[in-house]
Amino acid sequence: MTRYIFRRVMSAIPLLFGLLTFTFFIIRLAPGDPVSLYVQGDVDPAFAQNLRNSLGLNDPLPVQYVKWVKSMLLGEMGVSFSRNAAVTKILADTIPNTLLLTVFALLFNFLIGIALGITTALKRGTCTDHLVNITSLFVYSMPEFWLGLMLILGISLQLDLLPASGMHSPLAKYLSTPRYLWDVFQHMILPVFVLGVASAAATGRYMRGSLLEVINQDYVRTARAKGLSEFLVIGKHALRNALIPIITLLGLSLPFLLGGAVIVETVFAWPGMGKLTVDAIFARDYPLIIGCTLVSGVMVILGNLLADILYAIVDPRIRYE
């Protein structure tokens, strides 16, 4: 197992390098000038040229590439143009925020999704089944930003139940730890819901299909025939096998969540990777774009790896050598 993981991680390195090189060139081919954002109002007219010189943007592309490869080999990610700070520091500040959001969204996604899937599969054909199916389809089909804004206006402004945006109250750092956690938790509810609910609906539908397939298998019938309680049959025999395809989903849903995070983070003013990446792309902040790409690439690859490992845990037939 360890060797397998090691091999997987090693094989991911050229993959990441390819990804970064691809990003490096395509983003530099894009029109637009990272410096131009600052040149407005009462700014020195020669400023753009000076800044471009000092950022090394006037070098020919191959030279920039060689420089970049060198610095990457040394583990340096450079300095963000738009935020004037080391890319590594920015990423270190931002990644935890995104993890907080995505991990809880994933949890929400799978807990709610699996619960819905089991309910609908067991009550197949009933009113509950149809109702849940249709509702989850509707939720799944809503544009995220629209759902987010509606929730802010409805739950936060009209009903005044939850805070509208941000990660915590302005003075949260002076609160005692439990109060602080409580504060953050309240701020998380809406964004986690919006981020997780669509995938939860999807997971629920997958789970339903998967469980239905398993329930009709011989061994489940045998278990039933043995006179085991329905709870044991489903909980012990059927569920375990039905979960296997869902675990693949877990790995695959990471890039999806990261993509969705862009919108959720903007709507809820949550300072995470998604918004950072989009801002970086729009500002043509080359070093930061590369940094963000690296992070999302690593997260995706780790997600896949995690799914494979979980596979092995859930399904003892699978062995990685």
Partner 1 sequence: MSPRLLFIAVLCCGLFVSCGKKSGEKDPMNETAVVALSGDADTFNPIVSGSATSGDIQGNIYPMMFDVSFDPRDGSLQYDPGLVVRWESANDGLDMILHLRTDVRWEDGILITPEDIKFSFSLYGDPEVASPRRNYVESMIFTDGKFDPNRSIEIIDDSTMVFHFAKRYPLQLFHLNLHPIPKHIYRNADRKTLRANPANEHPVGAGPFKLDEWVHQQQIDLVRNPTCTLPYPAKLDRVIFRIISEPTTRLTELKKGTVDVMSPVYPDDVKDIQENNPNIRLETLPPRSYEYIGWMNIDIEEYHNSGKKNIKPHPLFGDARVRQALTYAINRKGIMEHELGTYGELAVTDFSPIFRWAIKHDLIPYPHDQEKSRQLLRSAGWSDTNGDGILDKGGRDFEFTLYYNIGNKRREYVATVVQKELKDVGIKVNLQSVEPTVLFQNIEEKRYDAFIGGFRVKLAIDPSDRWGDVSNPFNTVGFQNRRIGELLKLGLHVPNERDAGPFWKEVQSIIHQEQPCTFLYWNKDIVGVNRRLKNTNINVLGVSDDMWDWQIGDPNSYMTY
Partner 2 sequence: MNDRRLDMDGGWLQRNIPGLSFIARGQRTFGWLLLAYFLMFPVLILANLNSFIEGMRSMGLSVFLVLVDFDHHRLFLRIDVLEHWLSSILVIAMPVLLWWLNRRRLRGMARDSDEHELSQWALAWREFKKNRIAATGLVVIIILYTIAFLCPYFAPYHPNAFQDGLVTKFRKPLSSVTVLHLNEESVSSRNLASLRMQSDYPSLVRDLVLINRDLTDDGFASTRAVDAFRVEGAEVKATVGDDLVSIPISSLVSPDPEEFAGRRIHLMGTDSYGRDILSRIIYGSRISLTLGFVAVLLSVTFGTLIGLLAGYFGRFTDSVLMRFVDVLLAFPALFLILIIIAAFETIAVPRVVLIVLVLGLTSWMGISRLVRGEVLAVKEREFVFAARALGLGHARILRRHILPNILTPIIVNATLRIGGIILVEAALSYLNIGVQQPTASWGNIIFEGKDFLSHAWWISTLPGFAIVVVVVCFNLVGDGLRDAFDPMLNNERV
Among 56, 96, 143, 271, binds partner 2 (CB under 8 A): 143
Q: How far is the CB of 26 from partner 2 (least distance, A)?
A: 5
Q: How far is the CB of 63 from partner 2 (least distance, A)?
A: 21
Check binding of 255 to partner 2 (CB under 8 A): yes
Q: How far is the CB of 4 from partner 1 (least distance, A)?
A: 28
Nearest 5°: the CA angle 32, 34, 40 is 95
Cα 282 from Cα 271, distance rounded (Å): 16
Cα 292 from Cα 298, distance rounded (Å): 10
Q: How far is the CB of 280 from partner 1 (least distance, A)?
A: 11
Among 145, 180, 182, 320, binds partner 2 (CB under 8 A): 145
Check binding of 265 to partner 2 (CB under 8 A): no
Candidate ranges 140-148, 170-178, 183-191, 231-239; the one touching partner 2 (CB under 8 A) = 140-148
Name the residues that contact partner 1, by CB under 8 A. Answer: 31-34, 36-48, 50-51, 53-54, 79, 82-86, 90, 93-94, 107, 111, 149, 152-153, 156-157, 160-167, 169-171, 173-174, 182-183, 185-186, 189, 266-269, 271, 275-276, 282-284
Q: How far is the CB of 88 from partner 1 (least distance, A)?
A: 12
Read off the tokens for 260. Answer: 């969705």
Site for partner 2 in 292-311 (CB under 8 A): 292-293, 296-297, 300-301
In this structure, which amino acid lies at residue 245?
A: P
Looking at the DSSP bridge assignments, the partners of residue 79 are: 86
Q: How far is the CB of 97 from partner 1 (least distance, A)?
A: 8
Looking at the DSSP bridge assignments, the partners of residue 86 are: 79
Q: Which is nearer to partner 1, 182 or 256 (CB)?
A: 182
Check binding of 159 to partner 2 (CB under 8 A): no
> Which of the listed partners (partner 1, partner 2, none) does 72 bind, with a CB threshold of 5 to 8 Å by partner kind?
none
Check binding of 150 to partner 2 (CB under 8 A): yes
3-class SS string, the chain? CHHHHHHHHHHHHHHHHHHHHHHHHHHHHCCCCCCHHHCCCCCCCCHHHHHHHHHCCCCCHHHHHHHHHHHHHCCCCCECCCCCCEHHHHHHHHHHHHHHHHHHHHHHHHHHHHHHHHHHHHCCCCHHHHHHHHHHHHHHCCCHHHHHHHHHHHHHHHCCCCCCCCCCCCCHHHCCHHHHHHHHHHHHHHHHHHHHHHHHHHHHHHHHHHHHHHHCCHHHHHHHHCCCCHHHHHHHHHHHHHHHHHHHHHHHHHHHHHHHHHHHHHHCCCCCHHHHHHHHHHHCCHHHHHHHHHHHHHHHHHHHHHHHHHHHHHCCCCCCC
Q: Which is nearer to partner 1, 105 or 220 (CB)?
A: 105
Q: Which is nearer to partner 1, 94 or 304 (CB)?
A: 94
Q: Which is nearer to partner 2, 136 or 237 (CB)?
A: 136
Site for partner 2 in 17-36 (CB under 8 A): 18-19, 22-23, 26-27, 29-32
> Which of the listed partners (partner 1, partner 2, none) does 62 bind, with a CB threshold of 5 to 8 Å by partner kind?
none
Site for partner 2 in 160-219 (CB under 8 A): 205, 212-213, 216
Q: Which is nearer to partner 2, 188 or 300 (CB)?
A: 300
